[in-house]
Structure 1
Amino acid sequence: MTIEPKTILEAVATREATIVKTLADLVSFPSIVMSDPRQSGPGERECQLYLKDRLERLGFITDLWEPDGPALLAKYAGRAGAHPGRTFEGRPNLGGVLKGSGGGRSLMLTGHIDVVPPGATEHWTTDPFVPTLEAGMLRGRGTVDMKGGVACMLMAIETLRELGMKLKGDVVFTTVVDEEIGGMGSLAMVDRGYRADAGIMTEPTANRVAPLCRGILWGRIIIDGIGGHAELAVKSWDQGGPVDAIWLCRQILDGIDILNRRWATDPRKNHPLMGLSNQVLVTQIKAGEHPSSMAGRAEIIVDVQYLPSEHDEHNLGGHVKREVEAHLARLCAADPYLAAHPARIEWILDADCAEVPSDHPLVTTMQSAASSAGLSPVLTGFGAHSDIGLPTTLGGTPTINFGPGDPSQAHQPNERVAVADLVACTQALALTIADWCR
């Protein structure tokens, strides 16, 4: 059964209130990812159960399961998404399949339901888990990252079902946990066998088609000084005196700035679809033990970006790790104390990335759908990390990013998405499903 694009666009537009209500329902579940990955967030299971019920009402065959973290680690050690210390009790993944009549291409719609903690409540004008609609914007934790996209996925399918459209290809729907701390939920999803001819991950791209994302490395740079009294004249370190780790920390930070300036003009660190070059981002600093003592130790947490073209043999950032390590060694060699007591880096996480060719049929189909929904068809890159690498490189499902919301709103207090963006995203997704799976 063929339905005209105009009919689909109008049908989605008339469901604006239901789209908003669906997202508000999702936001009301405080599905916070915990810093200890052995603990479940207070609303992760409940959020997935809500989606499971909605999918079953649409005719999906559903699958709610708690992944086996240790077994996944043993199977995929050294690969993307395989992280130690993960357990999934109380934090299930959800998968579903809506079977087509046969002979059509399958499409996977995927996203995550875990959200970062809201932070200080005084930074919010309203309760972050009480969704608030104001001036055409829905505010609440996860409205952008990325329950807005999940709501659009669900409503696109629901609209087509209500229109009576019969699809030849299967529609696969997956929502995972653990994305905000490394992506083992997506690894479990791919390991479970969820795949399709192509996929869309609805991370926030401001409704732009983004066929690639960056990989990220998290690292802890450890700088050992020698503690001592901060207020007294002291001997030099080679005569038994102290060394201020904060002073050493400044040198390392300056050296990171130098590396970033070099990367800004390095072709390997730039991509035509990315607005910025790769960077080494300093996100945390910890130093000092007492107000009147020189710091005996400092730690710098860094977030290092890399492109799919920089993959090592495991589709990870091994080459970039070695590049950063070599730069750190050169910085240390230039200082007498650090030459004898070099800083070291411990790698915490390596989250992979992927790129789907710009002429891939899903990319062009999605561009056409975006245009029909009044959106820009111009391709962009997703500047942060997303989980598209795992379904693309491990699962064989070429997956792109496309979702509602300004990505700069992600993780912010008073996170909010425009209702108009939700409607336009749902329209573009519905048109893509109807075209791809016909």
Structure 2
Amino acid sequence: MSLTEKINAHVDASAGRIAQTLCDLLAFPSIVKVDPREAGPGERDCQLYLRQRLSALGMETDLWDPDGPALYEKYQGRPGANKGRTFEGRPNLGGILTGAGGGKSLMLTGHIDVVPPGPPEHWHSDPFVPVIKNDAIYGRGAVDMKGGVACMLMAVELLQDLNIRLAGDVVFTTVVDEEIGGMGSLAMVDRGFKADAGIMTEPTANRISPICHGILWGRIILDGIGGHAELTPNSWQSSGPVDAVMLCRQMLDGLDVLNRRWQTQPNKNHPLMALPNQIIVTQLKVGEHPASIAGRAEIVIDVQYLPSEKDEKGLGGHVKKEIEAHVARICAMDPYLAQHPAKVEWILDADCAEIEAEHPFVTTFQQGVKEAELNPQLAGFGAHSDIGLPSTLGQTPTVNFGPGDPAMSHQPNEHVSIADLVACTKAIALTLVRWCGVAEERH
């Protein structure tokens, strides 16, 4: 039996262990909110569990609470630097399994924070009590992205089961804060964790994705003039009420126009991306009282940009200016907004990256994926992921690859199939052998 066959057979036989590892991780409610001070103990508890698993593998581990203000001071204006972040009780985890020498190193990385599960009535079961049903595992974070974390951990464990010692080092990192901007990854890179290449196990349906989108979060504020809804008619004169609901509709229509333009703009499309860049409205806040004409509207947007659009700081400054100019044009067409233009406030800028298809690690990874009987064709990752920080600041060219349908991310009843987990674990284990090299096969 060849080494590839031996690895594949052992991973197949370990499907139950892989599934249990994911269930263990899902049981930690490692929720992060926009205000990280509202985070509970779940992130820390999950990291403590993982540190035990890494220590059992013989890894040298590092568990630390990043210093948010110090990081912001050091990296202000650069990717990952978000003001006001606090990490007390929200640790990052790193581990290094030292190889025998003479091989290339590989970093396996992911995040363990998850978004809130939403209304409990939208779930068939408790989102933090994992359930196995129809050969799939249900729970918040099953896809985004504790499934991937379970696979990268099990890939290392199962190689050790087979007494395979790698020549190169394995660097293992799990971070917090990804769901609100990526400062956890900034802290990880700043800590010095790096390798010759990296795999971030975000959900890609087990396709190698060497590119992700950058993401901007913005708030468009429209100030109207309030008034009694039943007694004072809407007016477009400065002396009377101006309904912010109407202003909001006009702005939403204008954003739709820009989205339609982006559908055919070459710089808003990429051959690996299924869709063009989009401006997605994610939140609306309009009005103050049921009997009052709305005096203010706030539109929160989520905007995608490509690596080719990055500004001199590696962020989305060019796209910010493009949207600000479009909002100004919408306002100029309205007699009231021309005098009282909308304000645009930027909340977040999460960077992006692209690793060239011909990079030696990408082609090596494609061979490992083939050996796991998966599709080696490259694909784009439509959301943001943290590959930009290790790839650029950390000089660790990193690609996305993980189990599960990415469209299931953040949904109620989030789930991943056990078959996907097994296949992902195979691909990572085989790539570790190919990239890091085998020092010896002990018996």
Indicate the TM-score class for this superposition, using the shorter chain for normalisation: over 0.9
Tell me if 1:55 matches 2:77.
Answer: no
1:249 is aligned to 2:248: yes
Residue 203 of structure 1 is matched in structure 2 by 202
Equivalent residue, structure 2, for 1:217: 216
SS of the residue 1:345 aligns to: strand
Task: Kindly provide the CA deviation profile for residues 209-246 of structure 1, in whole angstroms up to 9, marking residues without a partner as x.
Answer: 10000000000000000001222353744351110011
Tell me the distance in 2 between the aligned counterparts of 1:284 and 1:120. 17
Which residue does 1:73 correspond to in 2?
72
Size of the alignment, in residue pairs? Answer: 437
Structure 2 match to 1:24: 23
The superposition leaves residues 244-292 of structure 1 with CA deviations (integer Å, 9 ceiling, x where unpaired) of: 0110110100000000000000000000000000000000000011112
CA contact (8 A) 1:19 1:422 kept: yes
Equivalent residue letter for 2:263? A
Instruction: Give, as a single letter, the amino acid of the residue that structure 2 aligns with 1:285.
Output: L
8 Å CA contact retained: 1:182, 1:349: yes
Q: Distance in 2 between matches of 1:103 and 1:41?
A: 43
Asked if structure 1 preserves the Cα contact closer than 8 Å seen for 2:234 and 2:242, the reply is no
Q: Structure 1 counterpart of 2:14, which letter?
A: R
Amino acid at match of 1:241: G
Shift of residue 3, structure 1, vs aligned partner = 6.5
What SS does the aligned partner of 1:203 have? coil
Structure 1 residues 205-214 or 79-88, which shifts more? 79-88
Give the 3-state SS of the residue equivalent to 1:282 in structure 2.
Answer: strand
Q: List aligned pairs for 1:103-118, cutoff 5 A.
A: 103-118=102-117
Aligned to 2:390: 391
Deviation of the 1:365 alpha carbon: 1.4
Report the Cα distance in structure 2 between the residues aligned to 1:6 and 1:235, rounded to whole angstroms: 74
Partner of 1:338: 337
**Counterpart amino acid of residue 428 in structure 2:** L
**1:290 paired to 2:283:** no
Separation in 2, partners of 1:212, 1:337: 42
Distance 1:226 1:250, change over 3 A: same
Q: What's 1:143 paired with?
A: 142
Helix, strand or coil: the match of 1:115?
coil
Letter in 1 for 2:10: A
Please, which runs of 5 or more residues in structure 2 have no aligned partner? Answer: 438-443
| Structure 1 residues 233 and 117: alpha-carbon distance in aligned structure 2, compared to 1, 3 A threshold | closer
After TM superposition, give the deviation of residue 367 of structure 1 in Å.
1.3
Q: What residue in structure 1 maps to residue 441 of structure 2?
A: none
Give the superposition deviation at 1:42. Answer: 2.9
* Deviations 1:17-49, CA, capped at 9 Å, x for gaps: 100010000000111113321243331111001
Q: Is the 8 A contact 2:204 2:402 kept in 1?
A: yes
- Secondary structure in 2 aligned to 1:38? helix
On the 8 A contact 1:3/1:165 being kept in 2, the answer is no
Q: What amino acid is the match of 1:328?
A: V
SS of aligned partner of 2:166: coil
Matched, 1:268 2:267: yes
- Is 1:317 the counterpart of 2:316 in the alignment? yes
* 2:440 counterpart residue number: none
1:325-344 CA distance string (max 9 Å, x none): 00001110111100000001
Q: For the aligned residues, what is the CA RMSD?
A: 1.1
Decide whether the 8 Å contact of 1:244 with 1:294 is kept in 2. yes
Q: Is residue 406 of structure 2 the alignment partner of residue 414 of structure 1?
A: no
Q: Please say if residues 232 and 241 of structure 2, whose CA atoms lie closer than 8 Å, have aligned partners that are also in contact.
A: no
Deviations 1:296-346 (A, max 9, x none): 000000001000000100110000000000000111011110000000100
Confirm or deny: 8 A CA contact 1:40 1:88 kept in the other structure.
no
Q: What percentage of residue pairs aligned between the two structures are identical?
A: 69
Counterpart of 2:171 in structure 1: which amino acid? V
TM-score (structure 2 length as normaliser): 0.97
Match of 1:401 in 2: 400
Give CA deviations for 1:103-157 in whole Å, capped at 9, x if unaligned: 1110000000001111111111111111101110110111100000000000000
CA distance in 2, matches of 1:420, 1:39: 35
Q: 2:243 is aligned with what amino acid? A: D
